[in-house]
Structure 1
Amino acid sequence: MEILETERLVLRPFTGDDFADYAAMLADPEVGRFLGGTLSAEDAWRNLAMVIGHRVIRGYSMWALVEKDGGRFVGRAGPWRPHGWPGLEVGWALARSAWGRGYATEAARAAVDYCFDVLGAEEVVSLIRPDNVASLRVAERIGHRHLRDAELMGTPCLVYGQVRA
């Protein structure tokens, strides 16, 4: 899986060394609010293993997002399609300390381009809870439009996305 660079971020594959920062992000109630809740350290470990395993199985997965300036971990973003998922998704989640800086938009744009240019996707979607206003704005900034409503793991979500130009 490639390492991508944007103006301010490096998008690189996760490693076990990311665990402490990843677990801290997923333990934050504000971050977990739209991800189905906070995760304990044990559940964060399993989640990280799932992200890394997805890369092994599919050849792609979400990247760890780190700032170019200083290398601070700020979140995750990238392509994602577990078994039974309603499409190739570009997802994102940022540590609260990184909110409001445009990092989600920057990383999601790079991930959408990767899905079309490298993975050869015909459609890329993002599954967003209806009350997640910040992620809805990110989706619109990256060119996504509301495609349909869906239910994912018992939770209503909006499917935003775009097709290959």
Structure 2
Amino acid sequence: METERLVLRPLTGDDFDDYAAMMSDPDVTSGLADGAITNEIDAWRSLATFIGHREIRGYSHWALIEKTTGSFVGRAGPWRPHGFPGLGLGWCLSRHHWGKGYASEAARAALNYCFTDLAADEVISLILPRNTRSIAVAERIGHHHLHDTEYRGHTVHVYGQPRPT
């Protein structure tokens, strides 16, 4: 899948070095409710989880690749691991790609995929209250704060929206 500035393609093992570098940045991982990634073993497990999710569910986060440079920007896409409260949409970008609008661009494409290809009736995003950047992305793509819940030991905001009519 492509957007104006990004290629969204399946994550692979070849993404590991870029993925591990992104996930080693505490400013990046402090915004994630999935748990701390503190070393390369944790980054490997995280990447393998997304790749495995695609095998089990048929969809997962994609690698985000900048069209003009071929650079790894981050990951984004649909997500519903066991125990997740609905079809989720998530994003995570390398810090040096923050502020360029890539998260919103990728999230819009992924949201459209959820409604058209996955026939979702609702799409949600779980966001830590302190993650103001992700809250802004959620609001830019049309998500609204629905309620709060507990997830993996954290109180998180549930943002989301129903299928457009």
What interval of TM-score do these two structures reach, taking the shorter chain for normalisation?
A: over 0.9
The counterpart of 1:27, out of the listed 24, 32, 43, is 24
**Contact 1:67 1:74 (8 Å CA) reproduced:** yes
| Structure possessing the higher relative contact order (Cα contacts under 8 Å, 6 or more residues apart) | 2
Q: Give 2:119's aligned amino acid.
A: G
The counterpart of 2:6, out of the listed 6, 9, 23, is 9
Partner residue, 1:112? 111
**Contact 1:23 1:39 (8 Å CA) reproduced:** no
Quote the Cα distance in structure 1 between the aligned partners of 2:29 and 2:136.
18
Q: Give 2:147's aligned amino acid.
A: R
Q: Give 1:159's aligned amino acid.
A: V
Quote the Cα distance in structure 2 between the aligned partners of 1:13 and 1:80.
13
User: Structure 2: which 5+ runs fail to align?
Assistant: none
Q: Give 1:29's aligned amino acid.
A: P
Report the secondary structure of 1:57's partner residue.
helix
Identity of aligned residues (%): 65
Q: What CA RMSD, in Å, does the superposition of the two structures yield over aligned residues?
A: 0.7
Count of residue pairs the alignment pairs up = 162
Shift of 1:38: 3.3
Please, which moves more after superposition, 34-43 or 17-26?
34-43
Partner residue, 1:76? 75
Alignment of 1:1-165 (within 5 A): 4-35=1-32, 36-165=35-164
1:55-104 per-position Cα deviation (integer Å, ceiling 9, x unaligned): 00000000000101121001000000000101101000000010000000
